[in-house]
Structure 1
Amino acid sequence: MKTLNQLMYLFLMGTILVFSSCNDEEMDPPMEDDSFYATKLGGEEMVPDPANEGEMIEQGYLNLRIVVDGTVMLIAGDEKYSELKPHFNVLLAEVGEDDFSGYNALVEDFTDLLAESTGAKNYSYTGLSMANAHNPNENPRMNGFVDDDDFDLFVEAVVQSATGAGFGSNDILGPIGELLEGTRDAIVQREDGAMLDLYTRLGGTVMVDDGDGNMVEAGYLPLKQVVTETVLLIATNEGGKYDDLQPYFPVLLAEVGVNDLSGFNALLGNFSDFLAQAIGSTNIEYSGMSMADAHNPEVNSRMTGMVTTEDYDLFVQAVVEAVTNKGVPESVIAEFGVLLNSEGLKGAIIQA
């Protein structure tokens, strides 16, 4: 009997302790989420996802996604952010083909990064480090390194998007700005004043259709178009303005006259390759003769005379007319002019 009483005592004490423990837990107030994500962005409240019918999404994540989506749309469509477009060559080309897979992945990654950084508990960023994500050598979707001006312009786009979405108060923009600023050192990898190479600004390495069913790099396509236009201007010689250049192309013109385009296509390819390599292409290399040999009749049988200074200047005039006809911006035309008038190139070609 004594033993039974002891067992009952222990059982009652255990029950009291269990209930006491449960009551203590119930009495402890839950930890308040004072994160920026919860207090300023909407937190974990579940709301319908306007982009995915029938699905729910955290209000905080939705608000961040709206800002990110708006930022990308500004960069794509607002000329104020045109300096940033070369970094999005791959993405913009995909969207132009109605392929939104890369766009959606970018929006999700950037939103995840902001969500985790502002205190979200149910989202985490799993993409590349900021340094690798903005390094073209590590991320083939990135065209060219970012400098401080690019970074500042991107932050401006984020601020404009956030303000347009109703999050323009200082208590929101301030912390977001600080968060972005904390990534500057990792993202900015190009020295101030070092211009993004022209090849990247013309389209870079993204593959596009050249109009004839061939896929070429977007940076190469305008070069090929300009070279083709230049040769055609000289060959057709409208108004006789390029009379003095035609004697350099008798072999080529004779071939074209009998519908043999082999030499014509070889010239287009070589000249386009040369320009591509000269303005920053990393995948295309010029493999033809040196400029000196290519313009020396004793070495190149397709060349019928030494180039004079006057004829070289006339050729540059033909190139300028070609790029103008193709709608190339004046700033790019000026850069082509600097390349064509460089002492090294002119010195190699002018031999008369």
Structure 2
Amino acid sequence: MRNFSKITLSVLLIASAALTSCSKDDDPEPVKASIYARLGGTTMVADPDNSGQMIEQGRLSFRKVVNSAIGLIVADITNNASGNLKAHFAPLLAETGSTQTTSIAKLSDNLTDFFSFNTGGTNAVNAYSGLSMAAAHNPAINARMGAKSTDADYTKFEGYVGAAANANGVASNTELYADIVVVLESLRSTIVQM
């Protein structure tokens, strides 16, 4: 009986020592879901812009913010001749008729693809096949870019994205919005070329 007690006591001491040596610092941080997943991810929902079609909720969330941001930029450019983003979008806005509508839709699709893919959207529908960010924002390479960006231009663009995120309920989740701002800021040095 005494041997059994010693053995039990020894096992308890070893187990206790092993458990106390594993502190919370040794536990890995829980993995945060991707931005795309937190925007709804791959859950399929009805596409409000295409009757009878389905779209991933994450992609739809990005498309809403992108379209709203484009709308804010175009409204500012057309209503404010001195807007510092006008020069950037002038070639696109100079296109006429259905070409302009198609070009703006293509810009929206490219931006939606870019943000969806680079924030965790892994579905082939989210694959970005456009120019690199440096090439896309360099008028010498991309004829649809009217001017190189300055820090002030990029800050103004981020403001439009923030207003669009707010209008679409994304900014109400402050942690998610902060993560989106981190992504935008990570692009600044590539996009700002002046």
TM-score (norm 2): 0.76
Computing the radius of gyration over CA atoms, which structure comes out larger, 1 or 2? 1
Report the counterpart of residue 181 of structure 2 in structure 1.
337
Given candidates 213, 219, 244, the residue that maps to 2:58 is 219
Q: Structure 2: state its 5+ residue gaps.
A: 1-27
1:259 offset after TM fit, Å? Answer: 4.1
Report the counterpart of residue 231 of structure 1 in structure 2.
70
Root-mean-square deviation over aligned CA pairs:
1.9
Secondary structure of 1:237's aligned partner = helix
Supply the AA of the counterpart residue of 2:64: Q
Distance 2:130 2:178 in 1: 26
Given candidates 287, 310, 332, the residue that maps to 2:129 is 287
Report the counterpart of residue 22 of structure 2 in structure 1.
none
Report the counterpart of residue 7 of structure 2 in structure 1.
none
> Cα deviations across residues 106-151 of structure 1 (Å, max 9, x unaligned)?
xxxxxxxxxxxxxxxxxxxxxxxxxxxxxxxxxxxxxxxxxxxxxx
1:262 offset after TM fit, Å? Answer: 1.1
Report the counterpart of residue 201 of structure 1 in structure 2.
38
Distance 1:252 1:307, change over 3 A: same
Given candidates 151, 159, 170, the residue that maps to 1:317 is 159
Distance 2:35 2:70 in 1: 22
1:322 offset after TM fit, Å? Answer: 0.6
Instruction: Give the share of equivalent positions with the same residue, in percent.
Output: 37
Distance 1:204 1:269, change over 3 A: same
> Cα deviations across residues 250-284 of structure 1 (Å, max 9, x unaligned)?
122223x5343111011001101110111111112
> Cα deviations across residues 275-297 of structure 1 (Å, max 9, x unaligned)?
01111111121110000000011
> Cα deviations across residues 43-73 of structure 1 (Å, max 9, x unaligned)?
xxxxxxxxxxxxxxxxxxxxxxxxxxxxxxx
Larger RCO, structure (CA 8 Å, separation 6 or more): 2
Report the counterpart of residue 254 of structure 1 in structure 2.
94
Distance 2:133 2:59 in 1: 20
Distance 1:241 1:198, change over 3 A: farther
> Cα deviations across residues 222-258 of structure 1 (Å, max 9, x unaligned)?
1000000000001011874981112111122223x53
Contact 2:38 2:176 in 1 (8 A): no
TM-score (norm 1): 0.43
Distance 2:139 2:91 in 1: 12
Supply the AA of the counterpart residue of 1:216: I
Q: Report how many aligned residue pairs link the two structures.
A: 159
Distance 1:241 1:317 in 2: 18
Distance 1:270 1:347, change over 3 A: same
Supply the AA of the counterpart residue of 2:109: G
Distance 1:325 1:242 in 2: 25
Structure 1 ranges of 4+ moved more than 3 A: 238-242
